Structure 1
Amino acid sequence: MTEAGDPLLLGQRVVAILETGLRTATYKLATLMALIEHCVENLPTDPADALQVPIPALAHRVLEIYWHQVRPFDGHELRQSTQPKARILAATTSLRDAAGVGRGGFSVDTARLRAPEAYQRAIDDVALCLAQQPLHRLQKLPGASTSDAFLYDDSFLHDHVSRSTLRARGDAIVLNPGVAHGLARLAGLLKPALEIMWVDDVRRMNKFLAAEVPDVAGHLFGRERTALTVVRGPFKEAFGPHCFYCQTHLPANNPIDHVLPWSLVGIDGLANLVLACSRCNGDKSGSLPAVAIVDRVLERDQGVLEDVAASLQWPTQHPRVVAAARGIYLGQPAGVPTWSGYRRSERLDVSFPPWWVQP
């Protein structure tokens, strides 16, 4: 059986490449993480299908990954490359400066609205860097003269590939048949493994990060995620000061919860956010919510969400949430437990999928 036909074999192959390959930057890890999320949100109907992945779309996801990581940590700028010029980090920082982010927490999508020309420059810079560096090296073992293209054809990519060559190839790579489904199925396993490798690489590149330095993983991967507190007031006005899950009345400083877990898809759009009480928020944690919960989230009044989005300059990302939900739930085997409320769970029933799961 090929790797594409067996998700576990595919996952083992991916991890083996990363563990044995040379990483002079965290770019390979970011590229793979972006590929996984793209597969989840663009899952082909047929598990055996190939999937075209636009490189600019990957660039946007890579920007999202580094967006909060470029902030100072413990008074230091974290190095994520051994090279003198870290192109992707520089592009990310330039966009943050142009959009006036400072130490704030709004998203890449909001930066795109505030500084569209700077955003496009950043996408162009990151996309070219991805094509010239991690995308053509991701499938190459140390000492090998050529890649083993088990994920996608990289024969047109090299260190000096031009923008015109990329345009001639549709500014895209094409994942081999079955790879998209395999990566989507393995998202919950591969992403934590990538995070562990990432933290190890950052510690290696930053000598001040002694073992006792607290929560560098939290800084890198959003344990202190986007500053969502700005959403709390408008959501209470729009939907009432009640927990979305249990309807209890909320105090002034209640949590904001990501319905589709941040650990699977890092979507900060309003369509993926709800008001929650501390009890439900802590109990749910990174669990997959029951389908009925996602249905209720997606059935909220879109006009109201768009009004909140306009007032905050914060995108709703409703289509992205729908696509991610479809990819996540279609990739789950029947009967897996899902979180249905405080100390409650129910088995996933995929025999009668809801409307948003339909291809």
Structure 2
Amino acid sequence: MADGVVDPLLLGQRVVAILETGLRTATYKLATLMALIDHCVENLPEQLDDDLAVPIPDLARRVLEVYWRQVVPFDGHELRQSTQPRARILIAANNLRNAAGTQSQSLAIEIAAIRAPDTYQRAIDEITLCLAQQPLHRLQRLPGSDASDCFLYDDSFLHDHVSRSTLRAHNDSIVLNPGVAHGLARLAGLLKPALEIMWVDDVRRMNKFLLADRFPDVAGHLFGRERVMLNAVREPLKEAFGPHCFYCNTHLPAGNPIDHVLPWSLVGIDGLANLVLACARCNSDKSGALPAIAIVDRVLERDQETLEDIAATIQWPTQHQRVVAAARGIYRGQPAGLPTWSGYGDTVRLDVSFPPAWLST
């Protein structure tokens, strides 16, 4: 840290050092850190050295979204993600699945929340308390230490038995230290894949059948290497916008890819506002690259009423405001001149000297 500005590289090293030291008894720390990173991307402060209040219920919502897919049985097994006898977060996710009447990965959690609003709110409340009592007050503590190294946020009011009234007295929030939000957002593309690798290793360790020689695709199940089942959006998007690649306008065959405009590796947003039809060539070439600002302009300029009509018909969220917030955070956190993908075989340097409306507001 120099002149009050957090060095993202040093911040990342400290985060990884905390996680790599000692044996995790659950994947909750990893989930909490992923949720923190996503919150920072979507709520990036104006100034590099600003602090950021992070509502713990927002972290709970993001954590529930991750485990929502993961609690679906894998290869006939319910995966353990904790060595403790009562895995509170997984129980909350399974209760919501039962109340919503689904065991499918493809049902969006937003739809489950509509089907079973009371159960959804109970899940958020339970996970909020669980995060405060477990990973949030242990995330910054090295094994064997009695005190935290509060380099991310002040956790002095958190402990194993913290009450709901204490959380309310602190506005149900933690406050990230000055500069931490920008640092975590800047590191999203590096930290999130590293966290996924740790997560897969932990799940293999906690589920002995996964150590067999057949090497099942644990990562694909946990983090959706096939992403969610996007087949349901393909035909409605073709009917609304035509059977053409969003990027190169080539005519599309049946079964063409559906692309996340803002890469999944940075923000896992499956809403219609972040999904486009793509040809196999563009989809493969773009992969996880950051798209040019002009591409984001085009995707955000699509007719919102049409997207909402599709969403209502197929029960799929649009998440337009979340896409706008995530795009703003991603591009504000990138250095000028960064290469961005502008089409098959082409890149342009990032230039925000004349920002579009969504980036400047």
TM-score (norm 2): 0.97
Aligned length: 359
Aligned 8 A contact 2:69 2:105 in 1: no
Aligned 8 A contact 1:235 1:275 in 2: yes
Aligned 8 A contact 2:72 2:105 in 1: no
Aligned 8 A contact 1:269 1:318 in 2: yes
| 1:4 to partner: Cα distance | 5.7
| 1:280 to partner: Cα distance | 1.1
Report the secondary structure of 2:141's partner residue: coil
Equivalence for 1:111: 112
5+ residue gaps, structure 1, are none
| 1:104 to partner: Cα distance | 4.3
Please, which moves more after superposition, 235-244 or 127-136? Answer: 235-244
Equivalence for 1:230: 232
Equivalence for 1:300: 302
**CA distance in structure 1 between the partners assigned to 2:214 and 2:159 by the alignment:** 40
2:306 maps to a residue whose letter is V
Equivalence for 1:145: 146
Aligned 8 A contact 1:4 1:182 in 2: no
Report the secondary structure of 1:67's partner residue: helix
Please, which moves more after superposition, 127-136 or 227-236? Answer: 227-236
2:68 maps to a residue whose letter is W
Moved over 4 A (4+): none
Equivalence for 2:269: 267
Aligned 8 A contact 1:21 1:140 in 2: no
Aligned 8 A contact 1:43 1:181 in 2: yes
| 1:101 to partner: Cα distance | 2.2
**CA distance in structure 1 between the partners assigned to 2:89 and 2:209 by the alignment:** 22
Equivalence for 1:329: 331
Equivalence for 2:260: 258
Q: Does 1:27 align with 2:28?
A: yes
Deviations 1:132-155 (A, max 9, x none): 000010011111111111111111
**Cα distance change, pair 188–199 in 1 and its aligned pair in 2 (3 A):** same
Deviations 1:192-241 (A, max 9, x none): 11111111111111111125413211111110211111111111111111
1:251 maps to a residue whose letter is P
Equivalence for 1:318: 320
Equivalence for 1:240: 242
Equivalence for 2:124: 123
**CA distance in structure 1 between the partners assigned to 2:230 and 2:300 by the alignment:** 19
**RMSD across aligned positions (CA):** 1.3
Identity %: 78
Equivalence for 2:170: 169
Report the secondary structure of 1:80's partner residue: coil
Aligned 8 A contact 1:4 1:10 in 2: no
Report the secondary structure of 1:274's partner residue: strand
Equivalence for 1:39: 40
Aligned 8 A contact 2:5 2:48 in 1: no
**CA distance in structure 2 between the partners assigned to 1:123 and 1:236 by the alignment:** 36
**CA distance in structure 2 between the partners assigned to 1:92 and 1:222 by the alignment:** 17
